[in-house]
Amino acid sequence: KAGVTQTPRYLIKTRGQQVTLSCSPISGHRSVSWYQQTPGQGLQFLFEYFSETQRNKGNFPGRFSGRQFSNSRSEMNVSTLELGDSALYLCASSLETGLLEQYFGPGTRLTVT
């Protein structure tokens, strides 16, 4: 069974631009969570989606948003990019919302210049 896939793997953007990242969960998994990983703050939860609904949101500004489609694929969007948004963005999937085992994708490395 294929794992979680994320596209693109690498992205370079300029301050003020916006970006959209994509995540395809493991086949059959319906819950998708997003995390930001930086050397300074570690791994921080962004939000979780299940059945196209946001179930849970971390402490990030409104510039960070996401959505989930009927096939469970998810996208996250960051608008008005700041230098501090440079990070590895990780997507994790699980069978159901709140189910314990979460499986991560390889991440999208975003660099903001």
Partner 1 sequence: QQQVKQSPQSLIVQKGGIPIINCAYENTAFDYFPWYQQFPGKGPALLIAIRPDVSEKKEGRFTISFNKSAKQFSLHIMDSQPGDSATYFCAALISGGSTLGRLYFGRGTQLTVWP
CB of 16 to partner 1, least distance (A): 28
Binding to partner 1 by residue 106, rule CB under 8 A? yes
Question: Which CB, 5 or 20, lies closer to partner 1?
Answer: 5
Query: CB atoms < 10 A from the CB of 76, how many?
Result: 23
Which of 1, 70, 83, 100 contacts partner 1 by CB under 8 A?
100
* Long-range contacts formed by 44-53: CB under 8 A, 24+ apart: 46/76, 46/89, 47/76, 48/97, 49/74, 50/96, 50/97, 51/97
Q: CA-CA distance, 28 to 8, in Å (whole number)?
A: 22
Return the DSSP state at 85: G
Range 34-93, binding partner 1 (CB under 8 A): 35, 42-45, 48, 50, 55-56, 58, 90, 92
Q: Token pair 């959209």 is at which residue?
A: 20
- Give the footprint of partner 1 on this chain (CB under 8 A): 4, 31, 33, 35, 42-45, 48, 50, 55-56, 58, 90, 92, 94, 97-107
